[in-house]
Amino acid sequence: MRHTALYPVHKQLGARLVEFADWEMPIQYSGVKNEHMAVRTSAGLFDVSHMGEIEIKGREAGSFCQWLTTNDINRLHNYEAQYTLILNQSGGVIDDVIIYRFSEENFLLCVNAINTVKVYDWMESIEKDFEADVQNRSFEFSQLALQGPDSERILDEIIEVDFSNLRRFRFLLTRWREIDLVIARTGYTGEDGFEIFIPWESAPELWSAILNHKNQNDILPCGLGSRDTLRIEMGYPLYGHEIDEDINPIEAGLSRYVKIEKGDFIGKSSILNVYESGPKRKLYGFEMIDRGIPRQGYPVLKGDIMLSSVTSGTLSPSLDKSIGMALLNSEMEIGDEINIEIRGTNRTAKIISVPFYMKNPHKREMKI
């Protein structure tokens, strides 16, 4: 079992620890609902050091990343980031990643912990076709995620940098206590927030500084449990749930991150075939009408006909209702009723638009 540099701190704080992708990580500290609502109303701090970091350098680093991923790398300027996907030849998702451009010859991929070795091996297998060098730097970086509406104010007070001009999916390089930091305005919660890359061994010092800043009552340490409920409320995919190597991005509602017009990339021909024939299934959101909390793997039915299974589900702390997602026949429509089998009993649910949670209900961030 692997441990982040913050493992002793998590134990000291009394975190409940669980195995996740071969890492022992905190699932919660004071409770999932409490931590969830802290992020929605003030701020929460996550240890996400289990995520992988893979660096690409060289004269053709940009061309390599353009071939590797589905989004358009050429749209990025220095110190900009982009959500994108890495596909296999059949169009299935190897991983969803964020790519950071430092220069035209230097990029960094942040990949899911469960896929770090797989993605690195995949990249190594194709780098020989480009003048680019791929290095797995995952054990050089710790990563903290400060998320919530108060995150900018808190970070301003600690790092002493004006973050008001740092736009979403931009990042900057700075120093704090003689420690080099990469700070990106990105996140996985639907709230404003920052993800901070810091040398591995320095994470406890910054973690402590954030949690013990002068307005410490505004922030809570948060575990993977609230990270999951927050992303479900936004309809964000999680690898192994809404996406995997047998699910293509069109089915998963991620077509906006597939730039067909940019030129060739791995899996493009398969994606074109999906566009031509139309996806046979799509990812839908639903809310429970009957009582019960849907969980991954629960059967989804229409009458007595088995349709699929729940990909993700939870009791939403923000909405106080049970919600979930499932891959269903693409002919389903908003408002259709389905059944979720919960502990041997069919419970009624209704298909609705995603995201489930919106601060401004007139502005939807993503529809699937």
CATH number at residue 68: 3.30.70.1400
Closest CA to 64 of 123, 135, 136, 138: 123
pLDDT at 200: 98
134 within some domain: no
**Strand, helix or coil for residue 111:** strand
Domain check: are 187 and 60 in the same one? Answer: no
Q: Do 42 and 161 belong to one domain?
A: yes
Range of the domain at 367: 280-368
Rg (CA), the chain: 21
Average pLDDT, the chain: 95
The percent of residues in the chain predicted with pLDDT above 70, rounded, is: 96
Shared-domain flag, residues 94 and 201:
no
How much is the pLDDT for 360?
63
pLDDT (mean) for 338-348: 97
What pLDDT score was predicted for residue 127? 83
Which structure tokens are listed for 253?
């509602």
How many CB atoms sit inside 10 A of residue 242's CB?
25
pLDDT confidence of 337, banded at 50, 70, 90? very high
| Per-residue pLDDT tens over the stretch 181-194 | 999 999 999 999 99
- On whether both 162 and 292 belong to a single domain, the answer is no
- In a shared domain, residues 47 and 170: yes
Q: Looking at the predicted structure, is the pLDDT value of residue 215 above 80?
A: no
pLDDT in tens, 251-265: 999 999 999 999 999
Specify the CATH number for the domain of residue 295. 2.40.30.110
Residue 313 binned pLDDT confidence (cut-offs 50, 70, 90): very high
Give the pLDDT of residue 128: 85
Question: Domain with 166 in it: what CATH number?
Answer: 3.30.1360.120
- The confidence score (pLDDT) of residue 213 equals 82
- How many structural domains is the chain composed of? 3
Q: Is 163 found in the same domain as 23?
A: yes
Separation of alpha carbons 59 and 188, rounded Å: 32
Does 54 have pLDDT greater than 50?
Answer: yes
Q: Is residue 241 part of a domain?
A: no
Q: Which of 177, 209, 233 is the last residue of a domain?
A: 233
Residue 206 lies in a domain: yes
The answer, yes or no, to whether residue 17 has pLDDT greater than 70, is yes
* Mean pLDDT for the stretch of residues 73-101: 98
Give the closest residue to 109 by CA, choosing from 7, 184, 26: 184
For range 231-236, the mean pLDDT: 98
**What band does 367 get if pLDDT is binned at 50, 70 and 90?**
very low
- Asked whether residue 240 is assigned to any structural domain, the reply reads no
- Residue 364 pLDDT exceeds 50: no
Residue 164 lies in a domain: yes
Q: Residue 306 domain-assigned?
A: yes
pLDDT of residue 317: 98
Average pLDDT (205-224) is 88
In a domain, 132, yes or no: no
Alpha carbon distance 107, 102 (integer Å): 6
- The whole-number average pLDDT for the span 87-96 is 98
Tell whether 45 and 144 lie within a shared domain: yes
Q: What is the DSSP letter of 76?
A: P
The residue out of 61, 91, 120 marking a domain boundary is 120
Same domain membership, residue 168 and residue 20: yes
In degrees rounded to 5, what are phi and psi of residue 232? -65, -40
Same-domain check for residues 152 and 228 = yes
Whether residue 363 is predicted with pLDDT greater than 60 in this model: the reply is no
In this structure, are 224 and 171 located in the same domain? yes
Considering the domain boundaries, does residue 249 fall inside one?
no
The answer on 169 and 96 residing in a single domain is no
Residue at a domain's end among 233, 264, 295: 233
Q: Same domain for 91 and 202? A: no
Of the pLDDT bands very low, low, confident and very high (cuts 50, 70, 90), residue 221 is very high
Residue 218's pLDDT band (cuts 50, 70, 90):
confident
Work out the average pLDDT over 135-140.
Answer: 97
pTM (two decimals)? 0.95
pLDDT for the residue numbered 365: 45
pLDDT exceeds 70 at position 361? no
Per-residue pLDDT, 98: 98
